[in-house]
Amino acid sequence: MKSHVTVLLEEAVASLELQEDSIVVDATYGAGGHAEKILSALGPKGTYIGIDVDSTAFTNAPKNPHKAALHLVNDNFKNLTNILSSLHTIDSVDAILADLGWRMEQFSGSGKGLSFQYDEPLHMTYGSAEAYNFTAYDIINTWDESVLADIIYGYGEERAARQIARAIVTIRKQEPIETTFQLRDLIANVVRTPRHTKTHPATKTFQALRIAVNDELQALETFITSAVTALNQGGRLAIITFHSLEDRIVKHQFRALANNNMATVLTKKPIIPSTDEVSDNPRARSAKLRVIQKNNVEQHEQSTNITTRI
């Protein structure tokens, strides 16, 4: 499998408008591509905080040419408020970036069952499976058929959700579904995809299970709320999404913040990769970058007073 290529690298970092002394949160460290670009813009008085729920992301520390303060934190970005509190000297930040894509290495024989291209146990967890209340194995082998169908349809937008759920329940009565290949082959026998498409029929179901196991959508909502609170006045939050469920949450929460005059949406339409970038990295084709800037307190209070009088 090819090594990870950071998507919208230049556009995302440029949107933050960093200064040499900026305090920046890279909420999804990943392969460190955005990290090195951010650190190249920071001076010795700047601060970089990299967060990733997968501890293997920090195997190699990023290059830090100007010796900015550097903090690498193994945690979920939904815990941003507690993460910043644990750093003691940092009360607020100037910029926050979240890239919701996955590192290619996480799909390449990680042992977590995130990809149907490798025969692995059905975990689909970011970290150790023991730390989770349930894994994809539990969902597939123990949850009711109707709940399975709702998850596959709701989180995977899979039209054949009910047929897949029915097939899963039928097979698991005979033997447990324990591996990615078992699930992949089961789905391939149920879902018939058009000949012209290159998308594997198991793609949407695997996405749905991963989202359910890691509570990704709720985590994103919590993160956005915490991120805006953590920003200084005039600070910026930039988020890169890769599928419609994520993008819908970001768009709606950004719009709500703007309607409450807490922030200004800087991207009326999302920034998307150039034709050249998509040509070089087809994975980038679904990426969307949205950016907001936190309004100052006086603007928000003035808006609140006007609303109250009305």
Q: Side-chain half-sphere of 290: how many Cα atoms within 13 Å?
A: 20
Residue written as tokens 């700047």? 46
pLDDT value, residue 309: 35
- Domain limits, CATH 1.10.150.170, in the chain: 105-214
Could you tell me the fold of the domain covering 9-103+219-309?
Answer: Rossmann fold (3.40.50)
Residue written as tokens 């097979």? 171
Please give the CATH superfamily to which domain 105-214 belongs. Answer: Putative methyltransferase TM0872, insert domain (1.10.150.170)
Residue 42: name the closest of 15, 23, 60 by CA: 23
DSSP3 helix / strand / coil % (the chain, rounded to 5): 45, 15, 40
What span, in angstroms and rounded, lies between the C-alpha atoms of 6 and 9? Answer: 6
- Here the tokens at position 227 are 């991120």
Write out the H or E segment, with its range, that includes residue 96: strand 93-99
Alpha-helix residue ranges (DSSP H) falling in the chain = 9-15, 33-41, 80-86, 136-142, 145-156, 161-172, 180-190, 203-214, 216-230, 244-259, 275-280, 297-309
Q: Which residues of the chain have pLDDT under 50?
A: 1, 302-310
What span, in angstroms and rounded, lies between the C-alpha atoms of 165 and 74? Answer: 35
Alpha-helix residue ranges (DSSP H) falling in 157-241 = 161-172, 180-190, 203-214, 216-230
Distance of CA 76 to the CA centre of its chain: 10
Residue 41: name the closest of 61, 25, 19 by CA: 19
pLDDT value, residue 109: 59
pLDDT value, residue 1: 43
pLDDT value, residue 308: 33
Residue 288: name the closest of 264, 261, 268 by CA: 268
pLDDT value, residue 112: 82
Say which DSSP state 241 is in.
E
- Domain limits, CATH 3.40.50.150, in the chain: 9-103+219-309
Residue 27: name the closest of 68, 106, 84 by CA: 84
The pLDDT tens digits of the residues spanning 233-243 come to 999 999 999 99
